[in-house]
């Protein structure tokens, strides 16, 4: 009896429209009407899928993280700590236009999450997941190249790596010409190299 429309597909379409608006005009222009128009729908239709603006934005933010996680799951990890670390870290940096856009949108969401209670849980969740990822990267590297390191030193190194990663990403968003893919990759290589300095074969 009903008109069949893939509910979830429509929500994804709206979330992607939200990304484009945020990317092009900033978060303050991400109104219900603007996003609906970007998606080619009326504001009334949008409201049929998301009853509030916050719901839409939360879904849109979550979709970014889901996409990134899917890509990470598909990475061809080898088991070699340094190669795997580079593979993961590069995936988390804005090294091409698609990832640049993604990261810019993510940044806008994160900034909004600082004052929007509805976005905070997801922000915290992602922070925790990222931190876990960094911890496991450091564990892999240290177990192979720096096994004498203490537990505290490893925790510190994980936070250092995570901060470096986010700092690089933000700088690349702010100054794409100065901090391009080459610079970011070099810095990451340098960092991994300096962590694994006990092994002369490390880095490259």
Judged by the rule CB under 8 A, the positions of this chain that interact with a second copy are: 24-29, 104, 107-108, 110-112, 114-116, 123-124, 127, 153, 156-157, 159-160, 162-168, 170-171, 173-175, 179, 183, 186-187, 190-191, 194, 197
* In the complex, least distance from residue 192 CB atom to DNA, rounded to whole angstroms: 43
Under DSSP, the state recorded for 79 is S
Spell out the residues 6+ positions from residue 198 whose beta carbon is closer than 8 angstroms to its own: 145, 146
Q: Taking CB under 7 A as the rule, does residue 67 contact DNA?
A: no
| CA torsion, ordered 82, 84, 90, 91, to nearest 10 deg | -170
Q: Are 143 and 61 in contact (CB under 8 A)?
A: no
User: Which window, 28-36, 89-97, 135-143, 189-197, contacts DNA (CB under 7 A)?
Assistant: 28-36
User: Which window, 49-57, 96-104, 162-170, 175-183, contacts DNA (CB under 7 A)?
Assistant: 49-57
Q: Site for DNA (CB under 7 A): which residue of 26, 43, 174, 197?
A: 43
User: 């509805």: which residue's tokens?
Assistant: 118
Q: Taking CB under 7 A as the rule, does residue 24 contact DNA?
A: no
Measure the N-to-C terminal CA separation of the chain; round to a whole number of Å. Answer: 62
Q: Site for DNA (CB under 7 A): which residue of 24, 26, 29, 174?
A: 29
Distance (Å) of CA 21 to CA 31, 130, 177, 186:
9, 26, 23, 32
173 binds, among a second copy, DNA, none (CB under 5 to 8 A by kind): a second copy
Closest CA to 137 of 189, 186, 188, 81: 81
1 binds, among DNA, a second copy, none (CB under 5 to 8 A by kind): DNA
Q: Site for DNA (CB under 7 A): which residue of 24, 26, 42, 127?
A: 42
61 binds, among a second copy, DNA, none (CB under 5 to 8 A by kind): none
| CA torsion, ordered 182, 175, 134, 83, to nearest 10 deg | -10
Q: Measure the CA–CA gap between 191 and 179, rounded to whole angstroms.
A: 16
Q: Taking CB under 7 A as the rule, does residue 44 contact DNA?
A: yes
Q: Which residues are at the interface with DNA (CB under 7 A)?
A: 1-5, 7, 10, 29-34, 41-45, 47-49, 51-54
């Amino acid at each position: 009896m009903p008109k069949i429309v893939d509910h979830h597909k429509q929500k994804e379409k709206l979330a992607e429209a939200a990304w484009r608006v945020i990317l092009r005009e900033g978060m303050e222009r991400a109104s219900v009407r603007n996003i609906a128009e970007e998606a080619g729908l009326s504001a009334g239709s949008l409201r049929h899928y998301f009853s509030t603006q916050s719901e839409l934005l939360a879904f849109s933010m979550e979709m970014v993280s889901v996409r990134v996680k899917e890509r990470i799951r598909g990475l061809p990890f080898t088991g070699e700590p340094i190669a795997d670390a580079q593979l993961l870290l590069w995936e988390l940096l804005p090294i091409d236009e698609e990832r640049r856009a993604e990261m810019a949108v993510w940044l806008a969401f994160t900034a909004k999450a600082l004052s929007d209670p509805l976005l905070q849980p997801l922000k915290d969740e992602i922070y925790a997941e990222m931190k876990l990822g960094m911890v496991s990267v450091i564990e892999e590297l240290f177990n192979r190249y720096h096994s004498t390191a203490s537990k505290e030193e490893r925790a510190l190194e994980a936070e250092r790596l995570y901060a470096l990663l986010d700092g690089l990403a933000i700088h690349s968003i702010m100054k794409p010409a100065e901090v391009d893919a080459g610079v970011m990759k070099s810095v990451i290589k340098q960092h991994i190299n300096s962590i694994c300095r006990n092994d002369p074969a490390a880095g490259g």
